[in-house]
Structure 1
């Protein structure tokens, strides 16, 4: 009887641990290319989350700056993530991202709930989220790569 109880106990413990890990590692959904963006690929990194739309003129001039920033951050545990303000999906999202020549990941699913980002009705808007998933700064208006790098440096205490 004791052996059976230990086996059942280990099985229950294993199932609970698996469920907890699965809940902590919820994926981000697909990107603009339909590829799954895993939690492991973004968790533990600083995120620069930018909301953009096709009708937003400042967004068009900001995107090249964000492309440059993504390139500059490759080895610094930080990523640029885009979110389409109009919630485009599938082929529409890919077409819009391609028309802007976006070279960073654009999420098809809005991560606002995950990071408790406040809704903003002005574009562009950029949020800086730390490696623990905590919102650290909200920046309204067009940003530059150099300016965002300065914000990151200050927030990281460097």
Structure 2
């Protein structure tokens, strides 16, 4: 009887651990433009600047160097610049488009809109600022600059 109870308890523990492991995997944000996994833990507790872009969008093309500059300026700080292709490009297509536009920040293959409750925008470019708790704080429509985004981040972070 004791052995059977140990077996049942062992199975329950294994089931719970497997569930926890699978739940942890579900938290990932998919892969980036280079096919590397983007772990949710990498972004936890950070502010996020999430920019939606497309190859056919002229203002997006102009804005990308500004986002590259912002990402470089924010290195080592609890802020990440992320891109999302508006057209949902995946794999090699996403990689080629990112390279063609000179994107040096992380581009997510999986749209994080549901995770962060980002409203769908029909106009581009659009940039969302998400705080360290994962709450949407700002939606910026149109072309942004590194200086303007940095200033807006500072203002929002000061309100915390």
> When the two structures are superposed, what TM-score results if normalisation uses the length of structure 2?
0.87
Map of 1:110 onto structure 2: 111
Residues in 2 aligned to 1:114 and 1:8: alpha-carbon distance in whole angstroms: 36
Q: 2 CA distance for matches of 1:17 and 1:130?
A: 31
Separation of aligned partners in 2, 1:36 and 1:56: 27
Residue of structure 2 in register with 1:149 after alignment: 150
Aligned to 1:75: 76
Q: What runs of 5+ residues in structure 1 fail to find an aligned partner?
A: none
1:8-157 counterparts in 2 under 5 A? Answer: 12=12, 15-16=15-16, 19-20=19-20, 22-23=22-23, 26-157=27-158
> Cα offset for 1:23?
2.7
Task: Give me the CA root mean square deviation.
Answer: 2.0
Greater shift after overlay, 96-105 or 16-25?
A: 16-25
**CA drift at 1:30:** 1.1
Report the more deviating stretch, 4-13 or 36-45. 4-13
Task: Give the structure-1-normalised TM-score.
Answer: 0.89
The verdict on how the C-alpha distance between 1:73 and 1:7 changes in structure 2, with shifts beyond 3 A counting, is farther
| Structure 1 residues 55 and 22: alpha-carbon distance in aligned structure 2, compared to 1, 3 A threshold | same
SS class of match (1:37):
coil
CA shift for structure 1 position 12? 3.9
Secondary structure at the aligned position of 1:82 is classed as strand
Q: 3-state DSSP class of the match of 1:30?
A: coil
**Shift, 1:76, TM fit:** 1.3
Structure 2 residue runs of 5 or longer lacking an equivalent are: none
Structure 1 runs of 4+ with >3 Å offset: 1-22
Give 1:21 deviation, angstroms.
6.5
